[in-house]
């Protein structure tokens, strides 16, 4: 008979060495208790009154001499442009053109000729 390599159900479970809070058994976790990674970082920033993500970047039209500066803690960032926005009114545009802006060189939108550059910034660290 071969020795068993599986744990038996009779083995007692070890007592956890840490708990988030006292008397956690029998309670329902809140959204903050169960959130991790970017979701938790966003919730903590919201509690402080900060917006972690720039979800509505609005600014002047980017030209070759004065491009739109896109901030990122990484060497690249995915951006979207509605295209045909040189006139300033983009409400009729229903299609966003997605592209990657890198720190290596500026990106020019092929439909509206708007220019984007990446500005690398020191970012906050998150425990994912």
| pLDDT tens for the chain, residues 1 to 128 | 544 444 445 556 566 555 566 676 777 878 888 888 888 888 888 888 888 776 665 677 888 899 988 888 888 889 888 777 656 566 666 778 899 999 888 999 888 888 999 988 876 654 43
Output the CA angle 106-112-118, nearest 5 degrees.
20
Residue 81 φ then ψ, to 5°: -135, 130
Going from N- to C-terminal start, the domains of the chain cover 68-120
Residue 33 and residue 100: Cα distance in Å, rounded? 34
* 13-25 b/e (C-beta count within 10 Å ≥ 16 → b): eeeeeeeeeeeee
Q: What is the pTM of this model?
A: 0.51
Q: What CATH number should be reported for the domain whose range is 68-120?
A: 2.60.260.40
Residue 128 and residue 84: Cα distance in Å, rounded? 39
């Amino acid at each position: 008979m071969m020795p068993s390599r599986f744990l038996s159900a009779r083995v007692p479970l070890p007592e956890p060495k840490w708990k988030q809070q006292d008397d956690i058994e029998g309670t329902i976790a809140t959204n903050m208790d169960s959130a991790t990674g970017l979701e938790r970082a966003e919730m903590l920033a919201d509690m402080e009154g900060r917006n972690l993500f720039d979800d509505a970047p609005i600014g002047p039209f980017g030209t070759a001499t004065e491009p739109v500066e896109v901030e990122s803690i990484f060497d690249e960032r995915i951006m979207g442009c509605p295209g045909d926005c040189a006139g300033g009114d983009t409400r009729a545009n229903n299609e966003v053109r997605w592209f990657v802006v890198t720190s290596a060189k500026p990106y020019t939108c092929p439909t509206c000729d708007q220019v984007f550059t990446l500005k690398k910034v020191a970012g906050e660290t998150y425990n994912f």
